[in-house]
Structure 1
Amino acid sequence: MINIILYQPEINGNTANIIRTCSSGQAKLHIIKPVAFDLHPHWLKRNAAHHFLSEIQHEIHNDYQSFFNKYGTKNIYFITRYGLNSYCDIKFAKELNENDEIWIMFGTESTGIPKKIMQTNIENCLRIPMDANCRSLNLANSVAIVLYEILRQNNFKNLSKFEVQKGKDFILK
């Protein structure tokens, strides 16, 4: 199981897109409060289409300490612009085979993951390579990039590799 962790998200549109991305990639979503918006489906509906929070595997954690008390022993990777290694350097297929789970945390849109958390997990802080003049990438895009790298390394296990709604040969008709 791939676990995507959002640390105190601030923008409902990003979270809605991440919900849809988790749904398409069969990932479980963890949201660490406080959240800067209402998690009610009405506020997420427009951006997430029919993929509401209630339709995916997810957990809402009251704060980081609650999350840490439950999952602090897991091997969590932290996506941050301060990471010294690239997310591409990790052999996620091996990780998934050995542990049956992968944990990836993404920080809040404005400030990222708190420095104190990163300092105690520096070896697991990973970066998405980008132009040196760029400060950061959009949170929803970052989740999609990393999640789909994990899925790619695992040969998109359990995911459809062709169009199922209109048929595999739709483009040929």
Structure 2
Amino acid sequence: MTSIVLVQPEIPGNTGAVGRTCVALDMDLVLIHPLGFEISDKRVKRSGLDYWPHIRLVEFASWDAFISERAPRGDQLYLFEEYAQRSFYEPEYPGDAYLVFGQETKGLPEAIVEAHRSQLVGLPMRSDKVRSLNLANTVAAAAYQAVRAHI
């Protein structure tokens, strides 16, 4: 089963909206701490609406704890960064992929990028007037692309 992994998300509304996408596509939502908010934050649940109780939420204290416990294969990890050279349209995502996204303001930590540079993908943008997309929008586009071959 494909999972969405948010590494140290900062904005509760984005996490709530991502959670709703996870419910829609029957995906786990994996949160890597520290978070920029409390999960009990009303803004998270407001964005997730009444879907929040249906989210399969998994939390890890750190990226290293996630890697240690889940032990993802190389072909399971897809790290989304705006500067990635490879388009997210290119991979054939396995049914058990981990789609990994960083903080809204900083992206993924450099150590994670360096360790998994060959697994970077990005959403193409045609305009040079936009430097990045909203996290929740990016996750939704990526999630639907990843499950496309498995629906």
TM-score, normalization by structure 1: 0.80
Q: Secondary structure at the match of 1:89?
A: coil
Report the CA distance shift for 1:71/1:82 in structure 2 as closer, same or farther (over 3 A). farther
Between the aligned partners of 1:119 and 1:113, the Cα distance in structure 2 is 10
Instruction: Tell whether 2:78 aligns with 1:83.
Output: no
TM-score, normalization by structure 2: 0.91
Q: Does the CA-based 8 Å contact 2:8-2:102 persist in structure 1?
A: yes
Q: Does the CA-based 8 Å contact 2:3-2:30 persist in structure 1?
A: yes
In the alignment, what sits opposite 1:123? 118
Q: Which runs of 4+ in 1 moved over 3 A?
A: none
Question: For the pair shown, which has the larger CA radius of gyration, 1 or 2?
Answer: 1
Between the aligned partners of 1:21 and 1:6, the Cα distance in structure 2 is 13
- 2:108 counterpart (90, 104, 113): 113
Between the aligned partners of 2:71 and 2:130, the Cα distance in structure 1 is 31
Between the aligned partners of 2:115 and 2:28, the Cα distance in structure 1 is 24
Q: Secondary structure at the match of 2:100?
A: strand
Report the CA distance shift for 1:23/1:34 in structure 2 as closer, same or farther (over 3 A). same
Residue-by-residue CA offset, 1:46-103 (whole Å, 9 max, x unaligned): 2211011x422121111112112112443311000121100100112xx22xxxx111
Q: Which runs of 5+ in 1 are unaligned?
A: 158-173
Between the aligned partners of 1:141 and 1:81, the Cα distance in structure 2 is 13
Q: Provide the identity percentage.
A: 29
Q: Which runs of 5+ in 2 are unaligned?
A: none
Q: CA deviation at 1:41?
A: 6.1
Q: CA deviation at 1:42?
A: 3.3
Q: Secondary structure at the match of 2:144?
A: helix
In the alignment, what sits opposite 2:10? 10
Given residue 36 of structure 1, which amino acid in structure 2 is its aligned partner?
G
In the alignment, what sits opposite 2:148? 152
Q: Does the CA-based 8 Å contact 2:80-2:121 persist in structure 1?
A: yes
Q: CA deviation at 1:3?
A: 0.7
Between the aligned partners of 1:125 and 1:90, the Cα distance in structure 2 is 11
In the alignment, what sits opposite 1:70? 69
Given residue 80 of structure 1, which amino acid in structure 2 is its aligned partner?
E
Count of residues paired in the alignment? 148
Between the aligned partners of 2:59 and 2:31, the Cα distance in structure 1 is 5
Residue-by-residue CA offset, 1:110-156 (whole Å, 9 max, x unaligned): 100012211221111001001233211000000000001122222xx
